[in-house]
Amino acid sequence: MRKASQKSTLRKVFRYIRKNIPLLVISIILALITVATNLYFPILTGDALDLILKKGVVDFAGIMRIIKVALIVITVNAVAQWFMNICNNRMTYRIVMDIRKDAFRKMEHLPLGYIDAKSHGDIVSRIISDVDTFAEGLLMGFTQLFSGVATIIGTLLFMLSLNFKITLVVVIITPVSLFVASFIAKKTFSMFKLQSETRGEQTTLIDEMIGNQKVVQAFSHEDEARTKFEEINDRLEKYSLNAIFFSSLVNPSTRFVNSLVYAAVGITGALSAIAGGISVGQLSAFLTYANQYTKPFNEISGVVTELQNALVCAARIFELIEETPEKADAEDAYELENADGTVSIENVSFSYMPQQKLIENFNLLVKPGQRIAVVGPTGCGKTTFINLLMRFYDVNSGTIALGEEADDKQKKQTLYDITEITRKSLRKNYGMVLQETWLKAGTIRENICMGKPDAAEEEMIAAAKAAHAHSFIKRLPNGYDTVIAEDGGNLSQGQKQLLCIARVMLCLPPMLILDEATSSIDTRTEMRIQKAFLTMMEGRTSFIVAHRLSTIREADVILVMKEGKIIEQGTHEELLKQGGFYHMLYHSQFES
């Protein structure tokens, strides 16, 4: 199973390598040049030794010629190695760039259900830490694997040209080194897998603690957080030490085998030299070759260990890249230009988990310009209803359809199932303000103009004034050009929400969704915002999710939801007269 997994991962890696074939070919050619010059040097050294005939009899002219050739060989070797490293670095980081690009692109097309189900820290760890680890292993592989294999083959050929019997001794002992490296590599794979998974778990916890440090401190949860971190950290230490321990056995084990090879060559070569089979210079070259022959086994063994770690990380990355994306828009999907505000919901059923039912047989017809308030206890399906309207999740059964303004006044209105509309055009017709604010790192201007980047200065300021955000923006150091950190930095929760409201007021789409849009704003500002909302909602279909029932008295229709069903429907006065669930909810908020 593990071998099949590794082969599958390697095939995926080769798909990315294939895009960089020219660099790969150049790197291999340069590796061959590097190896050839490395292997030619011992011959020059041996020839120089053989020119030292005896005491006082030295062919200095011949030695000078060999030194000149040696200098050229060294220069060619250095230049080839330098360019090979440049090619390998460029190839590795191009592959890493492509993988990260694909991972991020896939993340943007993953269904919301995947993002909700997975820890955000683990996803970040895969795209950042795992890709970095994979890059290190891949770079080492490119740098040492080609050169190592070429050195082994080249050295064998040179040794065979010098003496067949001594070469045979080397070849017989070599498999021991390969066996040792293979045995240790199998042990390290599972260790590195556990290490990578635990590192993702640790990143998740750190991400949670940093993002929610105020809550942690407010509830004096520091000790529990520290205990959990230490538990994960201890496990990471244990797995890392085990992985490093087994991987560190590779080098001394292969070095021991290499020393055996070197000793066998020395003894066999010395006996052959005494018998006159080879010269002293050839013996010197042979010993150098024996050393060069065994050296790549150390490097390749190290590379194999690193590649084990890299392949584990690559498998986690490809797991993300190959996740099933959200269902793509149909090729003939309709571009909804200008919705008229009609929303038809027929027999809609939806649940996040099949065994736990939520919304069942949901029916609703919303007319253009109506203000629909959705109320009910926590967990009744209010936010889920919004998610379905925006098609963040697809319904399990039933249909949600939107109407479009007809070009011709006499033309009959057409309803389009939202699954037949492109997601982009669907969401463009909604303006959304959520209870949870989100601002990106950048200027105030960039955050307000996110939905309309080409907006004029006057439009942006008018939207900010309508949202009652203009006054506090002007007090900031650089006004609208003030740079804020991720998620609003030091802005208060209320200020962040005002910016989100201004963002929607700038776009003014035909339909609005306000999910507890004023929950973080003081009462006085909320009253002014409510007036601004009334102006904004004029002629627009609006869905208002609210817990404070005083804010939705003016709604045309109030939907009372409970356990995924609409149990009551009507205006504020009508529902109070019925004396049902809404009556109970309303009076529970205003009892003395």
28 and 170 housed in the same domain: yes
Query: What are the two backbone dihedrals, phi and then psi, of residue 485, each rounded to the nearest 5 degrees?
Result: -80, 180
- What is the tens place of the pLDDT at every residue in 346-390? 888 888 877 777 788 888 888 888 888 888 887 777 888 888 888
With 0.75 as the threshold, say if the pTM is over it.
no
- pLDDT band for position 185 (cuts 50, 70, 90): low
State how far the Cα of 415 lies from the Cα of 532, in Å rounded to an integer. 30
Provide Rg for the chain, Cα atoms: 36
- What is the tens place of the pLDDT at every residue in 58-88? 777 877 888 888 898 889 989 988 998 888 8
27 touches 142 (CB < 8 A): yes
Range of the domain at 98: 2-321
State how far the Cα of 565 lies from the Cα of 455, in Å rounded to an integer. 41
> What is the SS3 assignment for 476-487?
CCCHHHCEECHH
Q: What is the pLDDT of residue 404?
A: 80
Classify 390 as helix, strand or coil: coil
Strands 511-515 and 430-433: parallel
Share of the chain above pLDDT 70, in %: 87
Q: What is the pLDDT of residue 298?
A: 63
Q: Above 60 in pLDDT, residue 408?
A: no
Domain for residue 275, yes or no? yes
112 and 253 housed in the same domain: yes
Domain for residue 232, yes or no? yes
Domain for residue 556, yes or no? no
- What is the tens place of the pLDDT at every residue in 132-173? 888 877 777 777 777 777 777 777 777 777 777 777 777 777
Q: What is the pLDDT of residue 186?
A: 67
Q: What is the pLDDT of residue 57?
A: 66
- What is the tens place of the pLDDT at every residue in 561-576? 887 777 888 888 888 8
Domain end marker among 270, 292, 321: 321
432 touches 451 (CB < 8 A): no
Sorted by sequence, the CB contacts under 8 Å of residue 42 that are 6+ apart come out as 158, 284, 285, 288, 289, 292
Query: In terms of pLDDT, which residue wins out, 11 or 278?
Result: 11
111 touches 326 (CB < 8 A): yes
Domain for residue 233, yes or no? yes
For 361, the enclosing helix (H) or strand (E) is strand 359-366
Where residue 193 sits, what CATH number does that domain have?
1.20.1560.10
Number of structural domains, the chain? 2
Between 228-237, 270-279, 310-319, the lowest mean confidence (pLDDT) is in 270-279
Length of the chain: 592
160 and 294 housed in the same domain: yes
Share of the chain above pLDDT 90, in %: 1
Domain for residue 586, yes or no? no
Domain end marker among 508, 531, 550: 508
Q: What is the pLDDT of residue 79?
A: 93
How many other β-carbons are positioned within 10 Å of the β-carbon of residue 143? 21
State how far the Cα of 436 lies from the Cα of 451, in Å rounded to an integer. 18
Domain for residue 296, yes or no? yes
Mean pLDDT of the chain: 80
311 and 446 housed in the same domain: no
Q: Above 70 in pLDDT, residue 412?
A: no
State how far the Cα of 198 lies from the Cα of 186, in Å rounded to an integer. 20
186 and 309 housed in the same domain: yes
226 and 79 housed in the same domain: yes
Residues 109-129, mean pLDDT to the nearest whole number: 79
- pLDDT band for position 55 (cuts 50, 70, 90): low
Concatenated DSSP letters for 434-460? -SS----SEEHHHHHGGG-TT--HHHH
Q: What is the pLDDT of residue 433?
A: 82
Q: How far is CA 39 from the centre of its chain?
A: 44
Helices (H) and strands (E) in the chain, counts: 21, 14
Residues 178-183, mean pLDDT to the nearest whole number: 68
State how far the Cα of 228 lies from the Cα of 222, in Å rounded to an integer. 10
Between 13-27, 237-251, 321-335, the lowest mean confidence (pLDDT) is in 237-251
- pLDDT band for position 592 (cuts 50, 70, 90): very low
36 and 166 housed in the same domain: yes
301 and 450 housed in the same domain: no
State how far the Cα of 316 lies from the Cα of 561, in Å rounded to an integer. 41
State how far the Cα of 320 lies from the Cα of 395, in Å rounded to an integer. 24
Domain for residue 418, yes or no? no
- pLDDT band for position 2 (cuts 50, 70, 90): low
159 and 306 housed in the same domain: yes
Domain for residue 236, yes or no? yes
Domain end marker among 288, 321, 354: 321
